[in-house]
């Protein structure tokens, strides 16, 4: 069945209103999502953002669009350098410093990709590592210098925010409060200290560096996404997304860099997901409520119940994660899966007291329209799921009285398949194997590329436990079959 292409609307942080997404190329959505800084395990607050973006992407796909998705891997940044250089002697070579950095980032890139695979997040089409795009970053900074938007101070290069009239447009900053001429070297800072920000950092002792026109140094965090986004998705894109914590300074600075260079609007839709509380409190290690995915699976939490618990809340509302919420998610999934099983089987002739029958196919159409109306309205998942549960109640009651026909059951199964394509939580058995296996193979490839043999073996064992046999092909790619 060919699906009709549906238009979706999303809240755009730039004008602060819900607007239809009209792709630059009809039927093809370009999407950039800010990826992880790979120096540690992602916590469930981070994972909420990636799950929201997967929902966004899968909704466009299910709505009949193609999606070109780029997610960067930040593999050079302040915290990475802090955590990777400690064990090295003061006179370590630059090569040794890069190696130590790559060992840390390679390991956590593989772990991150595994976590996404476990959560059935579709891999991005482009997964660029920042360190592979240093020449593009340098060229972008040079272009900003040529336009008078960047200046050098003691071997570092800074962005001159007073040079861009619309600086502050995304975070809705008050331009009066900005401090002319002050500058900040840190990648992260608060909005009450809006200043010129760093594009290129001169190397301090004990840090890995690259050669540049300004001497030895390394890129600032913000320039990474501008350079990779423009290189891989072009001079304009449809959607750029991240958590709300990235609105300022990261995305504001990305706009400054890219639009300062291009001279026109870069991103049509800025889409941000809200953060997450745990049992009503901000997650912190000292409160003992700080969870990675592995912490939760070790407690016996089903990752797909976690996926559902997160995605069944609206992405623009603060999510209060709780174990009670997880149990509710498990129960909701049981209900949908049991209904799916019932529709897969043959119905018994109804034995209950006769009531006036509804038309199951008309009821199904209503549910489908209600589902899509909710999803098209800024991904309103609570309402979309309510449409599914109303259908389940109605058809279960109907089936009790007079069994649905095979044709009606197949039509219902088609709808469950269509919606599962977004939520990935009530699959036909083994239907989701492909994307999970592909994602794990990608994680193993990343681990091997970073010489993280133990991690690569762990992924291989995980695939083995799933009954997957890997086959190294002549062209260097890896194939697989169910053993």
Q: Which residue pairs from 329-334 have beta carbons closer than 8 angstroms and sit at least 24 positions apart in sequence?
A: 329/305, 330/302, 330/305, 332/308, 332/385, 332/389, 333/304, 333/305, 333/308, 333/425, 333/426
Pair of tokens at residue 276: 């997450």
Q: Which residue pairs from 348-352 have beta carbons closer than 8 angstroms and sit at least 24 positions apart in sequence?
A: 348/403, 349/402, 349/403, 350/399, 350/400, 350/401, 350/402, 350/403, 352/400, 352/401
Q: How far is the CB of 241 from Zn ion (least distance, A)?
A: 10
| 124 counts as binding Zn ion under rule CB under 5 A | no
| 319 counts as binding Zn ion under rule CB under 5 A | no
| 456 counts as binding Zn ion under rule CB under 5 A | no
**Stretch binding Zn ion (CB under 5 A), from 6-14, 26-34, 341-349, 426-434:** 26-34
Kindly report whether the peptide bond that precedes residue 332 is cis, defined as omega within 30 degrees of 0: no
Closer Cβ to Zn ion, 34 or 388, answer by number: 34
Q: How far is the CB of 284 from Zn ion (least distance, A)?
A: 24
Closer Cβ to Zn ion, 34 or 104, answer by number: 34
Rounded Cα distance between 161 and 197, Å, is: 8
**Stretch binding Zn ion (CB under 5 A), from 93-101, 133-141, 218-226, 380-388:** 218-226
How many C-beta atoms surround the C-beta of residue 166 within 10 A?
Answer: 12
Site for Zn ion, residues 225 to 244, rule: CB under 5 A: 225
Rounded Cα distance between 395 and 361, Å, is: 10
Site for Zn ion, residues 63 to 92, rule: CB under 5 A: none
Helix residue ranges, H only, 299-402? 303-311, 323-344, 360-376, 381-401
Closer Cβ to Zn ion, 33 or 311, answer by number: 33
How many C-beta atoms surround the C-beta of residue 207 within 10 A?
Answer: 19
Closer Cβ to Zn ion, 80 or 225, answer by number: 225
Site for Zn ion, residues 3 to 22, rule: CB under 5 A: none
**Stretch binding Zn ion (CB under 5 A), from 91-99, 219-227, 372-380, 444-452:** 219-227
Question: Which string of DSSP letters, residue by residue, matches 143-181?
Answer: HHHHTTSEEEETTEEEE-GGG-TTTTTTTT--GGG--TT
Closer Cβ to Zn ion, 36 or 325, answer by number: 36
Closer Cβ to Zn ion, 152 or 262, answer by number: 262
Rounded Cα distance between 466 and 483, Å, is: 9
Q: How far is the CB of 242 from Zn ion (least distance, A)?
A: 6
Closer Cβ to Zn ion, 48 or 307, answer by number: 48
8 A C-beta contact, residue 7 and residue 376: yes
Q: How far is the CB of 34 from Zn ion (least distance, A)?
A: 3
C-alpha pair distances (Å), 189 with each of 43, 147, 185: 21, 25, 9
How many C-beta atoms surround the C-beta of residue 272 within 10 A?
Answer: 22
Q: How far is the CB of 225 from Zn ion (least distance, A)?
A: 3
Q: How far is the CB of 154 from Zn ion (least distance, A)?
A: 26
Closer Cβ to Zn ion, 26 or 190, answer by number: 190
Rounded Cα distance between 239 and 269, Å, is: 5
Work out which of 34, 233, 301, 304 binds Zn ion, going by CB under 5 A.
34
8 A C-beta contact, residue 255 and residue 236: no
Q: How far is the CB of 316 from Zn ion (least distance, A)?
A: 19
Closer Cβ to Zn ion, 219 or 427, answer by number: 219
Contact letters for Zn ion, residues 369-398 (x by CB under 5 A): ------------------------------
8 A C-beta contact, residue 426 and residue 420: yes
Q: How far is the CB of 250 from Zn ion (least distance, A)?
A: 5
Q: How far is the CB of 18 from Zn ion (least distance, A)?
A: 23
Rounded Cα distance between 308 and 331, Å, is: 11
Q: How far is the CB of 337 from Zn ion (least distance, A)?
A: 37
How many residues touch Zn ion under the rule CB under 5 A: the total is 2
**Stretch binding Zn ion (CB under 5 A), from 221-229, 255-263, 415-423, 472-480:** 221-229
Phi, psi of 272, rounded to the nearest 5 degrees? -125, 135
User: Which of 127, 133, 82 minimizes the C-alpha distance to 109?
Assistant: 127
| 446 counts as binding Zn ion under rule CB under 5 A | no
Closer Cβ to Zn ion, 49 or 452, answer by number: 49
**Residues in contact with Zn ion by the rule CB under 5 A:** 34, 225
């Amino acid at each position: 069945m060919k699906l009709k292409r549906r238009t979706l609307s999303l809240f755009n942080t730039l004008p602060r209103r819900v607007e239809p997404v009209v792709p630059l190329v009809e039927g093809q959505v370009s999407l950039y999502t800010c990826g992880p800084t790979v120096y540690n395990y992602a916590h469930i607050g981070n994972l909420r953002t990636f799950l929201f973006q997967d929902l966004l992407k899968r909704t466009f796909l299910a709505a009949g669009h193609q999606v070109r998705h780029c997610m960067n891997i930040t593999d050079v940044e302040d915290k990475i350098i802090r955590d990777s250089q400690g064990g090295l002697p003061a006179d370590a070579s630059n090569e040794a410093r890069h190696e130590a950095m790559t060992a840390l980032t390679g390991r956590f890139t593989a772990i991150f990709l595994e976590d996404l695979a476990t959560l059935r997040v579709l891999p991005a089409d482009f997964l660029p590592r920042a360190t592979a795009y240093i020449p593009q970053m340098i060229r972008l900074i040079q272009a900003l210098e040529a336009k008078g938007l960047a200046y050098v101070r003691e071997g570092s290069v800074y962005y001159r925010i007073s040079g861009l009239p619309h600086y502050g447009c995304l975070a809705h900053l008050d331009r009066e409060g900005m401090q002319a001429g002050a500058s900040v070297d840190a990648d992260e800072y608060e909005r009450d200290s809006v200043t010129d920000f760093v594009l290129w950092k001169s190397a301090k002792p004990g840090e890995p560096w690259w050669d540049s026109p300004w001497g030895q140094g390394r890129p600032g965090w913000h320039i990474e996404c501008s350079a990779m986004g423009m290189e891989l998705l072009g001079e304009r894109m449809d959607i750029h997304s991240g958590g709300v914590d990235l609105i300022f300074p990261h995305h504001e600075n990305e706009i400054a860099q890219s639009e300062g260079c291009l001279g026109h609007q870069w991103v049509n839709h800025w889409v941000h997901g809200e953060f997450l509380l745990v049992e009503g409190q901000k997650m912190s290690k000292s409160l003992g409520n700080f969870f990675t995915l592995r912490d939760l699976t070790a407690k016996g939490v089903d990752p797909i119940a976690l996926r559902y618990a997160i995605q069944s809340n609206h992405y623009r509302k603060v999510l209060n994660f709780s174990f009670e919420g997880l149990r509710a998610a498990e129960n909701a999934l049981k209900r949908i899966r049991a209904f799916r099983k019932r529709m897969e089987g043959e119905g018994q002739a109804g034995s209950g007291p006769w009531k006036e029958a509804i038309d199951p196919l008309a009821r199904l159409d209503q549910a489908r329209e209600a589902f899509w109306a909710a999803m098209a309205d800024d991904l309103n998942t609570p309402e979309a799921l309510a449409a599914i549960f109303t259908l389940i109640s109605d058809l279960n009651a109907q089936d009790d009285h007079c069994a649905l026909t095979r044709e009606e059951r197949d039509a219902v199964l088609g709808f469950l398949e269509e919606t599962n394509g977004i939520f990935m939580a009530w699959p036909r058995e083994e239907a989701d194997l492909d994307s999970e296996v592909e994602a794990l193979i990608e994680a193993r490839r990343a681990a091997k590329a970073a010489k993280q043999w133990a991690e690569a073996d762990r992924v291989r064992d995980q695939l083995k436990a799933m009954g997957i046999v890997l086959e190294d092909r002549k062209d260097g790619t890896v194939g697989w079959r169910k053993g």
